[in-house]
Structure formats: structure tokens, C-alpha cells
Structure 1
């Protein structure tokens, strides 16, 4: 079974663009660079289409763009700590923590399970605080692994 997130799917203090569309493109490119995107253009289009329906930002500087897509064959989670922060449409300001969830189009409910578990973890103040303080991709993966452990 392929791990949901690996070190090559983590970016720390990354400048991924000036707006949410640029960040989404960059996060999808991380999926492609990790060899997990079967169709990068489909992945980007599906994430942007989902984002156009409703913004995927949370309060507290968090963005979770996500989709089901034919552009991946295995559920994938990308984590980026953004520097500078980017406006994803939250009322309380721009995001510095961004997660991209990409799940296979015809797959099971892994997409919703990942999203639900991640969102539950993010409402606990210590969880985003820990992610903001990590120094390495492995540290980020350990923290994220606890949140989505049984997937």
C-alpha cells in the first residue's frame, strides 16, 4: 500500500505563488514530482473546479483544497507551510498552512475520511501549532500521521 504522505510531498516555508490558484498549481506539481499524478492537468482542473464551488479555507490560516480526480491513482496528501501567506478567502486572513488532498475519482470514500480526520485535528489548537514549528518533513509526517493514522 502506498503511504498517504511521504517526505517528497512536504514543503516547508515554501513560496508557492501569490494567489490560491498559483498555490494549487504548485501543490499539484508536488504530486507530479513525487510520481503520483497520472494526469497533472486533470488534477489541477479538478482541484480548481472544487475550489470554485466553495472555498476550502478554514479560519486560523489553513487551506485544504481537495478533490476526487482521474489525475491520481492513489490517495495523496501534500502539506505546505507557506511563506509568504496566501489568501484563500478566509475572513480572518491568509493561510500559512496548506494541504492538498487528491483521491482517485472512482475510489472509495478515502477522500472524505482524510478530509474529516484532518479537519478534526486542525480544530485542536496544538495541531496547527505543531505543524508551524516543525523543522523537517519527517516531523511533519509524524504529526500528520497521527491525525490520519488508520488510512
Structure 2
């Protein structure tokens, strides 16, 4: 299987799609992502994931504007790309470039050596989230099932 076939729909599992999560801060959002990935795959250490996400945020916020954040990091020993999609019950401050609070979060955890895949997925995500009608659909989802379907349905 070639790495170029990585798309959002084949890295985002329904069980890593979370609707209307209650999180009070950016730190809590990142903790939640790390804990959730660990619950799905106990071989992955939630503290490592959290620390890597925080280190990446220190380089500059992954809040890309319009209420969207794409926190991402690389992880040693990971053999696949993991995506986590969350909508938040209440927007949180994410130090975004436009200073708007964030209520849609798509986290991307990639293997240490996956550079081109990483960039390709980030650009696919940015393109999708650039469409305000699509973001509006995500925000209207009331449950994880509809959120997952909406995220993967309009592949370009």
C-alpha cells in the first residue's frame, strides 16, 4: 500500500471521533486527545502523546483560525497515522492566529519518520476546514456517528 493513499477517511476511526466534548482549556483538550488514543491502543503512552502535542504547540499554536485547531505531533514507535476529531461543547482559547476560540479540533499523530504523509494530511485538513459550510455542518452534529460521517463524506 503506498503512503500517498492516506486520506482523512482512512486515518479517522469512528471511535476516535468525539462530539461536544466538555473541555475547559487548550491543555485539557490535548490531555483528552492523548488519553483517548491511549484508551483505543494501550501500547501508546498518553503522557508521551501529550508531551509531544504540547511541544509542538510551543513552536506556535495549531489554531488555524475560524474556530479550528489541528494539533499534531510525531511519535516514536508508531506504525500508522492516527486522527482524532473532536467538537467541543464550549469553545476554548487556543492562542489561534485570529484570536478566536476553538470548537473544532482535528489531532494528527504520525510516525516519527512520516514527513510527506504528515504534510499531505495537514494540507487535506486545512483545505476541508477552509470551507465554512463544511465547518458549520460539523458544528451542527449532535452525535459521534453523524460527526464521523460528515467528516469523511465530502472527500475532495
**Cα distance change of structure 1 residues 36 and 129 upon mapping to structure 2, 3 Å threshold:** farther
- Partner of 1:134 in structure 2? 141
Q: Structure 1 residue 101: deviation in Å? A: 0.6
Q: Structure 1 residue 36: deviation in Å? A: 6.7
CA contact (8 A) 2:91 2:103 kept: yes
- RMSD, aligned CA: 2.2
TM-score by length of 1: 0.86
CA contact (8 A) 1:67 1:111 kept: no
Runs of 5+ in structure 1 lacking a partner? Answer: none
CA contact (8 A) 1:5 1:76 kept: yes
**Cα distance change of structure 1 residues 126 and 85 upon mapping to structure 2, 3 Å threshold:** same
TM-score by length of 2: 0.84
- Partner of 1:58 in structure 2? 64
Larger RCO of the pair (alpha carbons < 8 Å, separation 6+): 2
CA contact (8 A) 1:14 1:81 kept: yes
1:106 lines up with 2:108 in the alignment: no
Secondary structure, in 3 states, of the residue corresponding to 2:12? Answer: coil
1:8 to 15, 25, 30: 15
2:30, 2:65 → 1: CA distance? 18
Deviates further, 72-81 or 28-37:
28-37
Q: How many residues align?
A: 148
CA contact (8 A) 2:63 2:70 kept: yes
Runs of 5+ in structure 2 lacking a partner? Answer: none
CA contact (8 A) 1:37 1:43 kept: no
